[in-house]
Chain A
Amino acid sequence: MYDLIPLIPLLPILGFAFTALFGRRLMLKYGRTAAEIVPVGAVVIVWLIALSVIGPALTHAEPFGETGYNVKLWTWIPAGGFNVDLGFHVDALTAVLLLVVTTIGMLVHIYSIGYMAHDKATWRFFAYLNLFMFSMLVLVLADNWVLVFGGWELVGLSSYSLIGFWYHKRSAALAAKKAFIVNRVGDVGFALGIMAIFVNTGTLNIQESLKILIEKPSAELVIPLGIVALLVFCGAMGKSAQFPLHVWLPDAMEGPTPVSALIHAATMVNAGVYLVARANPLFSSAPEAMVIVAGVGIFTAILAASIAFTQTDIKRVLAFSTLSQLGYMFAALGVGAYGAAIFHLMSHGFFKGLLFLGSGSVIHAVDGEQDMNRMGGLAKKIPITHATMLIGTIAIAGIPPLAGFFSKDEILGEAFKFGFYWVWGIGVIVAVMTAFYMWRLMGKTFYGESRVDPSVAPHVHESAWQMTLPLVLLAIPSIGLGMAVGWPLGSGALVGWLKPIFEESEIILARTPTEELFGLPINAVLVVISVLAALVGLLTAVYLFGIGRRKVNQPRIDAISNANGATRFLYRASLNKWWFDELNHLLFIRIGGRVAAAMWWFDRTVVDGTVNGVGSVTRSAGGGLRRIQTGRVQNYALGIAIGLIVMAGSFLVIVGLPR
C-alpha cells in the first residue's frame, strides 16, 4: 500500500504534462470537460491515496512508526561526497501538510470547474494547478534539502504563472513579477542556508543533517547555528510573506480567486511555517534566532491586521488577514510552540480556504466586482455562500467551539506559559483586530442596504454546485476540526501525533510551563481573555457595520475616518499599507535607480569601451586576413600541402637524417 507514496507527486505532474500537451486540442474538439477530467481526476486520486497514508502516519502505525517512513527512489546526483537522493519521508508532520494540501487542492480543483467556466484557456489553468500540486507535494514529501528547494522553487514558479494567469492584464503581469522577485530574495537566503547545512554536516538528508547539527559541539561547526537558522528563516519569510518580504502577497490577489485560496492562503504560504517546523531542532538550538522569528511573526501579525482595517477590496482584506495569521504561526514557532503553529496552519488552511472560495463566489455573483463598497445586502441572495462565509468568519475570529478558537488559543496560551508575555499581549490585540476586520468584511458584503451596481443587481445569483459544494465541505473542518483534534486544550490528539517530531526541541528547550495564574488554572484564565477579546472586536464591528437588515452606521464610520490627530494618522497609514510600497519604490526604484544609472554609465563607457576596442581591433585584423579566404578548396589544400612540407622539412632539419 505504501508503495503508492511516489504516486502522490507523480500523478499531478503527469496530469500537468498531459494537459499542457493535449489540453488545448481536447478543449477545442470535445469541450472543456474533456480537458478538465484528467487534471481534476489526477488530484482526486491523489487525495484518496493521501488519505490512506495520512491515517496510519498520524497515529504512528507501522511502517511509519514515530520516526517516519522513508521511500528512496534513486540517487539523483551522486558526486563523490555530495549525494542527493530522490526520496520521500513521511511522518506525522508530513501527514498534516498532506491532508491540508491534497484536501484543499482537490476542493479547489472542483471549485475551479465552476469558477473558470467562462474562461478561454481553462486547460492552461488546470495544467498550472496540477503543476502547483506536484511542486507542493514534492516540497512536503522530500527527504532532503535539495529536493525541498526544488519543490520550493517550483511552487514559486507555478504561483508566478497562476498570479499572472490573465497575463494580458497589466496589473496581473506586474503582480506575478513582483511575487516572483520578492520570493527570490528569500530563496537566496534559503539556498545559502542549505549550503551552510551541508558545510556543517556533510549531508543533505534532512533527518540526518538535523541530528548532526544538534549533536555536534558548537565549536566544531564551520558556520554558527544562529546564522544557519536565520538563513533558513529568510527563505521561510519570503514564501510565507513575513515582514519585510510581505509586499507580494496582497498583490498576488490579481490571480484568479481559486488560486488565491489554494496557493496564497492554504498551502504555499504555509511552506515557510512547515520549513521552520521541519527544522525545529535547528531553531531550538539557536535561541537568538527564535526570538527574531517570534518578533518578525508577531510584528507582521499586527501590521497586517492594521492594514486590513481599511481595505475595501474583499480579496485584499483576506490577503492581509492571511499575512496576519501567518504572523501568528511564526510567533508560535518563535516561542517554541511548534505543535500549536502546525495546528493553526491546518485550521487556518481550511477556514481561510473557505473564506477565499466564498469571496470568489461573491465576486462571481456580482459579476467580477471586488470592491466591498459596491456590495452589501447579499445575504439573502446568495444564502449558501453567506452561511459558509459566516462560519469561516466566526472560525477565524476565535469564537468557541470553531476551529480557529482552538488553534489560536493554543498559540497564545503557549506564548504566555513559556514566558513570552509580549507575544501574548500583542497576540490578544491582534485577536481583537481580527474579529473586527472580519466582521467589517461580512457587514459590508452581506448586510445593510445593497450598493450593487443597478445593472448587475438583478443578475445576482448563487453559484453552481461545483462552487458551493467545496464551500460546504470546507465549512465542516472549519467547525469541527478544533473539537476533533484540539480538545482538551494543550493536549489534544494532534499534539500527541506531532509529539515525536518536536521531541528533540522539547529536550533542548527544557521549559516548564506555568500552570497557575492568580490561583486559577491558567488555561481557563487565558481562554476567557481570548474569547473576550474576540467578542469585543466582533461586537464593535457589528455596531459599526451592522448585521442582518441593520444598516451600516455610516455617520460613526465617517467620524472615525475624518477624525484628526493620531486617529487620522493611523487611518491613513492603514489605508496606505504603512507606505511599504512607497518605501520600496523610494529605496529600490529611485535610489536603486540612481545607483543602477551610475553602473550603466560605467558599463557603457569603460566596459563597453574595452569590449568595443577589442572588437574593432579584431575586426580590422580580420578584414586584412579576409583576403586569403578565397573560398576555393584548392587554395586551402595548397595551404595544407605547404604546412605538411614545412613540418616534414623542419622535422628532418631538427632531428637530422637517421644515419
Chain B
Amino acid sequence: MLSVLNGLSQSLDAYLILSGILFAIGSFGFLARRNAISMLMSIELMLNAVNLAIISFGAFSLSLKVDASVIALIVMAAAAAEATVGLAIVIAIYRNKKTPLVDEYDAMRQ
C-alpha cells in the first residue's frame, strides 16, 4: 500500500518539491508576519530552500556534482552576510522606533 513511497529518496522530484514547499512557507512568513525578525527568519528559510534545490540537482546530475556543493557553500556565505546586515538594520531601526513590528515602519510613505 505504501509502496508508492518506495524510492522517494532516489527521486529528484521529491527533493525539488520539498524545496518548493519550504520556499512557499518562507515566503508566507515573509509576507504575513509582523515581526521584523520573523521576516528575516523567513528569508533564511527561503535561502535554505534554494540551497536544497541546488544540492539536489548536484546529487542527480553528473556534470553538476561538485559544482553544486561549491555554489551551495557560496550561497551560505552570502546568506550569513545577509543575516548580519539584516539583523543589524533591524536593531538600528528598533532603536529609533522602539518596536520590532514592521507595519509601524512607514518611512517609505512619507
| A641-B23 Cα distance, complex, nearest whole Å | 12
| A638-B102 Cα distance, complex, nearest whole Å | 14
Q: Which residues of B contact A630 (CB under 8 A)?
A: 106, 109
| A633 is an interface residue with CB less than 8 A from chain B | yes
In the complex, the answer to whether B102 meets A634 with C-beta atoms within 8 Å is yes
| B105 is an interface residue with CB less than 8 A from chain A | yes
Interface of B is mostly: helix
Q: Which residues of B contact A633 (CB under 8 A)?
A: 102, 105, 108
Q: Which residues of A contact B106 (CB under 8 A)?
A: 630-632
Interface residues of B in 53-110 (CB under 8 A from A): 102-103, 105-110
| B15 is an interface residue with CB less than 8 A from chain A | no
Q: Which residues of A contact B108 (CB under 8 A)?
A: 631-633
| A219 is an interface residue with CB less than 8 A from chain B | no
- Nearest chain B CB to A652 CB, angstrom units: 14
Cβ 8 A contact of B109, one of A631, A634, A637, A641: A631
Q: How many residues of A contact B (CB 8 A)?
A: 9
Contact with B along A108-120 (1 / 0, CB 8 A): 0000000000000
| A19-B39 Cα distance, complex, nearest whole Å | 59
Q: Which residues of A contact B105 (CB under 8 A)?
A: 632-633
Contact with B along A637-659 (1 / 0, CB 8 A): 11001000000000000000000
Q: Which residues of B contact A634 (CB under 8 A)?
A: 30-32, 39, 102-103
| A456-B31 Cα distance, complex, nearest whole Å | 87
Contact with B along A86-102 (1 / 0, CB 8 A): 00000000000000000
Contact with B along A618-633 (1 / 0, CB 8 A): 0000000000011111
Of A629, A634, A638, which is in contact with the most chain B CB atoms at under 10 Å from its CB? A634
| A637-B32 Cα distance, complex, nearest whole Å | 10
- Nearest chain B CB to A41 CB, angstrom units: 55
Q: Which residues of A contact B30 (CB under 8 A)?
A: 634, 637
| A637-B102 Cα distance, complex, nearest whole Å | 13
| A629-B109 Cα distance, complex, nearest whole Å | 7
Q: Which residues of B contact A632 (CB under 8 A)?
A: 102-103, 105-106, 108-109
- Nearest chain B CB to A227 CB, angstrom units: 60
| A553-B27 Cα distance, complex, nearest whole Å | 105
A644: nearest chain-B partner, CB-CB = B27
Q: Which residues of A contact B107 (CB under 8 A)?
A: 631
- Nearest chain A CB to B32 CB, angstrom units: 8
- Nearest chain A CB to B56 CB, angstrom units: 19
- Nearest chain B CB to A651 CB, angstrom units: 16
B31: nearest chain-A partner, CB-CB = A638
Q: Which residues of B contact A637 (CB under 8 A)?
A: 30-31
A632: nearest chain-B partner, CB-CB = B103
B28: nearest chain-A partner, CB-CB = A641
Q: Which residues of A contact B32 (CB under 8 A)?
A: 634
Question: Would you list 8 pairs from A and B whose C-beta atoms are within 8 A, ordered by A residue?
Answer: A631-B106, A631-B108, A632-B102, A632-B103, A632-B105, A632-B108, A633-B102, A637-B31
Which 8 A-B residue pairs are closest in the complex by CB-CB distance?
A: A631-B109, A631-B106, A631-B108, A638-B31, A632-B103, A634-B31, A637-B31, A641-B27
Binding site for A on B (CB under 8 A): 27, 30-32, 39, 102-103, 105-110
